[in-house]
Amino acid sequence: MSEFYNFNLNNNILSGLDKLGLKNPTSIQEKTFLTISNNRDLIACSATGTGKTMAYLIPLLNVLVNNQSSTNQEDDTNISTKNINVQQDNNYSKNAVQVIILVPTQELGAQVARETHKLCELSNISIKTLLLIGDGNINRQIESIKHNKPNIVVCTPSRLAKLIKLKKIKVHQVKTLVLDEADRLMDKTCYEDILFIRKSLMKRTQVLLFSASMNKKTIKSANVITYKPVILDLISENKECIPKTIKHIYFISDRRQRIEMLRKIVKANNGGKTLIFINTKYDLEETFQKLQYHHYNVGSIAGNLDNHTKKKVIEDFKSGKIQYLLATDVASRGLQIDNISTVINLNLPEESIEYQHRAGRCGRNGNIGLCISIITENELSKIKKYQKLFHVNFVQKKLFQGKIVGK
């Protein structure tokens, strides 16, 4: 029997989870369920790929469905004239925005909206979700708000703030505000919009922050928009920032030979769906051209691509039409793709925490993953730093006669 039964979930949601193949909750899902269900504010930190989206979706949908059922029962019994006003309020609540999920990028927003819609559909529950992102046509979005009357809105902070200022979306009945990838949302580019959004909501609105990394500055900023939050840091508790299912290896190369080393590693590894991180757009373009020249099935999502092209490349990568995807950290933010077997770092990231985010793109949901880094001799100190910081072991490998060899 599924361990989700222990959550006392609505039967429809249990059925939906079963159809999704979700039998047992992950650690973050198990440890946050009661806190969210009891309407407590929460700051939760858990490694990439541990099921943070479902950690807030499952309890929030459960609350919405139960409230909806209670309202429907009241509607059936309230038939006297003196109850007309109550009925109108209840009917209005069913068509009001009750959950707002803030995301830093349109890619993550689309992913969250898809997961929400899919769980609702498989659960046969009438909770409506609407995606509102900054690059979308605002007039169409306003029409969608009027027509769809969403219960859950997934949006970027700037777009939601603008819609509130234009008085095109009503947020006075919002029960829960979620910040997904909170560390990125709470930086200076989004913070003012988030403060404005929070002030536009009810004082008692629940606030949930989820992230794969949470520093003291983020927590300090989060305290401004939360009330006595429960703080859950599974990374510190488990001493495991990156899932143990991911293996870490590195190759030493001359700086000028990195791309050629990458080409040889890709050929030798042939590791299925592979995400390759490159620090600059210039290096990304050069790498893309060289891999294309050697007939590798490769695509890229540079930051300057238009949304339609970028979306097409990502969909082709998801479906397997493209085997190798090149990305910078900025372009890949919010990118969530299952079944990535290998991550390759052509360059080590500028910030140490980005290594955790990159590595966590493979080995998701308990699968085996491989993270390969190409470094210079001078970067060995960074590898040692990562070992200590993330509690993982790195093994040096070499190429010999077209094969990967080493300890």
Q: 138-148 vs 157-165: helix axis angle to the nearest 10?
A: 70
The 3-class SS string of 20-41 reads CCCCCCCHHHHHHHHHHHCCCC
Q: What is the pLDDT of residue 243?
A: 80
Separation of alpha carbons 63 and 316, rounded Å: 36
- Cβ neighbors of 179 (< 8 A, separation 6 or more) are 102, 185, 186, 194, 207, 208, 209, 210
Q: What is the pLDDT of residue 93?
A: 64
Separation of alpha carbons 193 and 197, rounded Å: 6
Q: What is the pLDDT of residue 91?
A: 38
The amino acid sitting at 57 is: L
Q: What is the pLDDT of residue 302?
A: 76
Q: What is the pLDDT of residue 370?
A: 94
Separation of alpha carbons 325 and 291, rounded Å: 11
Mind giving me the DSSP string for 83-152?
A: GHHHHHHHHHHHTS--EEEE-SSHHHHHHHHHHHHHHHHHHT----EEEE-TTS-HHHHHHHHHHH--SE
Q: What is the pLDDT of residue 86?
A: 29
Separation of alpha carbons 187 and 76, rounded Å: 48
Q: What is the pLDDT of residue 304?
A: 66
Q: 352-359 vs 380-390: helix axis angle to the nearest 10?
A: 70
Separation of alpha carbons 322 and 314, rounded Å: 9
- Cβ neighbors of 336 (< 8 A, separation 6 or more) are 107, 108, 111
Q: What is the pLDDT of residue 303?
A: 62
First to last CA, the chain: 42
Separation of alpha carbons 205 and 98, rounded Å: 10
8-state DSSP, 347: S
Structure tokens at 324: 């190798």
Taking alpha carbons only, the member of 223, 217, 145, 228 closest to residue 188 is: 217
pTM of the shown model: 0.70
Separation of alpha carbons 248 and 365, rounded Å: 18
Residue 268 CA, chain-centre distance (Å), reads: 31
Task: List, in sequence order, every residue forming a beta bridge with 153; answer none if it has no partner.
Answer: 100, 130
Q: What is the pLDDT along the chain (407 residues), one digit of tens a residue?
A: 457 878 889 999 999 999 998 888 988 999 999 999 999 999 999 877 788 999 999 999 999 998 876 655 555 444 333 333 323 334 336 789 999 999 998 888 988 999 999 999 999 999 999 999 887 799 999 999 999 999 999 999 999 999 999 999 999 999 999 999 998 898 878 899 999 999 999 999 999 999 988 778 888 889 999 999 999 988 665 555 678 889 999 999 998 999 999 999 999 987 789 999 999 888 999 999 999 999 999 999 876 677 778 888 988 998 889 999 999 876 666 667 778 999 999 999 888 878 888 888 888 777 889 999 999 999 999 999 999 888 899 999 999 888 898 86
- Cβ neighbors of 187 (< 8 A, separation 6 or more) are none
Which residue reads 């300890």 in tokens?
407
Separation of alpha carbons 119 and 12, rounded Å: 10
